[in-house]
Structure 1
Amino acid sequence: MTMNRRRFSTALVAGAAASLISTRVTAATATSVKAGNIVLVHGLFADGSCWSEVIPRLQAAGLNVTSVQNPLTTLPDAVASAQRVLDRQDGPTVLVGHSFSGMIVTEAGTHPNVSALVYVAARAPDAGEDYTALAKTYPTPPASAGIVFDGDEGRLTEEAFLRDFAGDLPEAKAKVLYAVQQPFHKALLTGKTTKAAWRSKPSFYAVSTEDRTINPDLERFMAKRMGAKTIEVKASHLSLISHPDEIAQLVLAAAGQRD
């Protein structure tokens, strides 16, 4: 169904009333099939538990939710991990990616079970596009300076994690997330998508306006290029944890569960 901007905005504000945050919605026409399944994919410096605030909100709406454990080894490995989960879904499924996993959503989103795509402060390359080269056309975000390598494995320092990755979370909560940070392999960053699912599937995008991991203007560019239904949340890179109501409402809209 075609989404009405005013009604969509009202739903978002209602869902986020407790957060005292202004969320701006960009009008873009997106038609979504009603979906009963949600597949969530995490990015770098995280594991599947980063969706722990969003999952119960989606389950409360009666949706079947699965959080993929991204192996963080190579892009083909990561895409395969998502595809295996998508294969198990019964009926229309919304595929949601945060941060790096936008690469996975873009590639795996052509799966026949996928009815819509949601990008949360995520990479959204075109087919064959060099995302690193695209990112370099914007100011480098501060978190990049905090990546350290142990051989082929990369991770964020604790200082960068707390300040630049999870900057709007209480320190105690951010430290728990830091403790479960999974290192990524250098080979993961060399992968390029071979297709762009957002060219054929309804797409939704949540921009983090205070993001210090991906430049917010780059996020806006990618969202506009794909013609996504877009919201802007005054949040760090981890809007899915600091503002789960807004993110859950966007996913529900992609699932055709909200007008």
Structure 2
Amino acid sequence: MKDKTIPRRSSKALTLVTAVLLLGGVAGCGAVESAGTAVAEAVRRAVPSVGSDKPAGNPADVSAAIARLAAIPVKGRAPKTGYNREQFGPAWADVDHNGCDTRNDILARDLTGETFKPGTHDCVVATGTLADKYTGKTIRFVRGADTSSAVQIDHIIPLSLAWQTGAQQISEEQRKQLANDPLNLMAADGPANSAKGDKDAATWLPPNKAFRCEYTARMTAVKAKYKLWVTRPEHDAIQGILAACA
């Protein structure tokens, strides 16, 4: 159980691109836990970036992402053989041991005006409003069998893609961290998330162009953090977006 004397949510004051920069030079899986704590907290406080049809990014942030991309190996996709969701641990595990599963942590981080199901110690999100980064739309979230799917939790680097670009070679615990890392997770419009599936940046980008700088910067951060590689088309697509952001 969470200590209810500790505020559940802090103010959402940082941009996600700034959160990405907190990774700094972290590129090794041995540093996942220590780096993840700082990044998760920064991402938890972040505000959505929606409402413009043009890519936008802080030049320093974009330069850092470009440098990170240059250090990520470029290889072909490995076979998908052996992939299943269980390779990344139980879905929405409570990896930060705050008493709440990861799905509800991300909903509470990304929604505004959220309410919680009574008796869950402010863990289970019941309602809230999402300023969706993928589409730029405002979506009302209401928990329920017929309504919850309007807002889904997306992996910025899909787990299937991660498996084919290096996650087979990291440990089971590191894959579990990857699947539940706030840096790699975002509440998103359900249909947009379904359309994305397990596509990489070469085959799918957010319809909301204003989010593409942040989206690709986070991709490079996750890839670097977990020692994943990029394919040539994926590399070129990310590089092109970041160049436009600069």
Normalised to the residue count of structure 2, the TM-score between the two structures is 0.29
Identify, as 1 or 2, the structure richer in strand. Answer: 1
